[in-house]
């Protein structure tokens, strides 16, 4: 009976970023990975997509102001 939470309307799209994309992101923003917003490793979506600690997720969600909005989160313990 388990539902696929990723298909739920209120769960935005989470994608694990590749190493090179992460490096590009950090370089563009001129930041350290620690400065990114965090997401807990026991978050249901993180468990579902199988992300590991240290991964960076690209989250695309609906936005009231911008329509579509892309943000990033670092997976932490």
Partner 1 sequence: MFLRGILKKISQINFGLMSPEDIRKMSVTKIMTPDTYDEDGYPIENGLMDPRLGVIDPGLKCRSCGSKGGECQGHFGSINLARPVIHVGFADTIHKILRSTCKSCGRVLLTETEIFEYKTKIEHLIKNEESLTSIIKEIYAEARRDKCPHCEEEQEDIKIDKPVSIVEGNYKLTPSEVRERLEMIPPEDALILGVNPEVAKPEWMVLTVLPVPPVTVRPSITLETGERSEDDLTHKLVDILRINQRLKENMEAGAPQLIVEDLWELLQYHVTTYFDNEASGVPPARHRSGRPLKTLAQRLKGKEGRFRSNLSGKRVNFSARTVISPDPNISINEVGVPELIAKEVTVPVYVTEWNIEELKEYIKNGPDIHPGANYVIRPDDRKIRIYEETKEVVMEKLEPGYVVERHLKNGDIVLFNRQPSLHRMSMMAHEVRVLPYKTFRLNLCVCPPYNADFDGDEMNMHVFQTEESRAEAKSLMRVQEHILSPRFGGPIIGGIHDHISGAYLLTKEDSVFKEDEVFQMLLRSKLPLPKKTGNPWTGKQIFSLLLPDDLNLVYKAEICRKCDECLRNECENDAYVVIEDGILKSGAIDDKAYGAFSGKILDHIVKEYGTDRAREFLDASTKLAISGIMIKGFTTSTNDEEIPREAKERIEELLDKAENRVEQLIEAYKNEELEPLPGRSLEDTLEMKIMQVLGEARDKSGEIAESYFGMDNHAVIMALTGARGSMLNLTQITACVGQQSVRGGRIKRGYSERTLPHFKKGELGAREGGFVHSSYKEGLDPLEFFFHAMGGREGLVDTAIRTAQSGYMQRRLVNALQDLNVKPDGTVMDNRGVIIQTMYGEDKVDPAKSDYGKVVDIDKLIEGMRIKSNK
Q: Which residues bind to partner 1, rule: CB under 8 A?
A: 29, 31-32, 34-37, 63-66, 69-72
Among residues 4 and 65, whose Cβ is nearest to partner 1? Answer: 65
Among residues 4 and 77, whose Cβ is nearest to partner 1? Answer: 77
Sequence-distant (≥ 6) Cβ neighbours of residue 41 within 8 angstroms? 47, 51, 52, 53, 75, 76, 77
Among residues 6 and 31, whose Cβ is nearest to partner 1? Answer: 31
Token pair 């609906």: residue: 62
CB of 15: closest distance to partner 1 in angstroms?
15
75, 46 in Cβ contact below 8 A? yes
């Amino acid at each position: 009976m388990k539902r696929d939470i990723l298909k739920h309307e209120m769960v935005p799209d989470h994608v694990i970023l590749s190493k090179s994309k992460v490096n590009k992101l950090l370089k563009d923003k001129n930041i350290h990975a620690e400065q990114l917003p965090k997401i807990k490793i026991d978050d249901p979506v993180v468990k579902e997509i199988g992300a590991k600690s240290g991964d960076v997720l690209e989250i695309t969600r609906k936005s009231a102001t911008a329509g579509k909005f892309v943000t990033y989160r670092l997976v932490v313990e």
